[in-house]
Amino acid sequence: MLIAPGRWEAAKDIGESASTSTGPSPAWTRSQRSGVAIVGSVFSSIYASKLGHALADTPVPQQAIDVAKESVGGAELVAHQAGAQGGPQAEGLIHTAVNNSFVSGWHAGSWVCFAVVLLGAVVAWKWLPARGDVSVDEPVSDRELIAA
C-alpha cells in the first residue's frame, strides 16, 4: 500500500472546507448563480472522472482517490502524502494526473461558457428590437433639442 489509510481524514476535511463557501454576493441574480453552478458542475464532473481514470491502475488507495476527486486541494495533499511514502515519482504521477484533469475540466467549462455566450448573442440578434436609423441632414442646435 502506497499511502496509509488513516491519513486521508485530514485530506477529506481540507477538501470539504475548500468546497464550502459563504456563497455569492447578494447582488448576484438567480440566473448568474445558476450559470456558475452549471459551469462548476461540468468542471467538477469532468475533473473527477478524468482523475479517477488516471489513478485507477495505480497503487493509490481508493479512499485517497476519492479525496483527490473532491477538490484540487485534497488532491495536492494526496500527492504530498504519496511523495512522502512513495518518493518523488509517486508525487509527480499524482500531480500530473491532477493537472491534466483540472485542465480538462476547465476546458469543458470554458466550452459551456462559450456556448451560453453564443446563444445569448444569437437571441439578442434575432429577437431584440433594432434601433431605428437616425439620419441628421443638418446639425441640430442645443435650443432645438431642448424645445423638442
Flag whether 115 is in a domain.
yes
Q: Which three cell numbers stand for residue 71?
A: 477538490
Q: What is the model's pLDDT at position 23?
A: 54
Flag whether 133 is in a domain.
no
Flag whether 139 is in a domain.
no
Site of grid cell 491519513: 7
Q: What is the model's pLDDT at position 78?
A: 96
Flag whether 119 is in a domain.
yes
Q: What is the model's pLDDT at position 108?
A: 97
| Cβ pair 44, 106 in contact under 8 A | no
Q: What is the model's pLDDT at position 115?
A: 95
Flag whether 28 is in a domain.
yes
Q: Is the whole model's pTM more than 0.75, yes or no?
A: no
Q: What is the model's pLDDT at position 43?
A: 96
What is the residue range of 123's domain?
5-128
Flag whether 144 is in a domain.
no
Q: What is the model's pLDDT at position 19?
A: 46
| 2 closest CA partner among 69, 70, 65, 72 | 65
Q: What is the model's pLDDT at position 98?
A: 97
Q: What is the model's pLDDT at position 28?
A: 62
pLDDT in tens, the chain (148 residues): 455 555 555 555 544 554 445 555 556 677 777 878 899 999 999 999 999 999 999 999 999 999 999 999 999 999 999 999 999 999 999 999 999 999 999 999 999 999 999 999 999 999 888 776 656 566 667 766 676 6
Please, which residues have CB within 8 angstroms of residue 46's CB and are 6 or more apart in sequence?
A: 101, 104, 105, 108, 109
Q: Is 73 helix (H, G, I), strand (E, B) or coil?
A: helix
Q: What is the model's pLDDT at position 33?
A: 79
Opening angle at CA 74, ends 73 and 77, nearest 5: 90
Flag whether 147 is in a domain.
no
| 3 closest CA partner among 93, 94, 64 | 64
Looking at the structure of the chain, the number of domains it has is 1
Flag whether 72 is in a domain.
yes
- Determine the distance from the C-alpha atom of residue 128 to the mean position of all C-alpha atoms in its chain, rounded to a whole number: 31
| 72 closest CA partner among 90, 111, 46 | 46
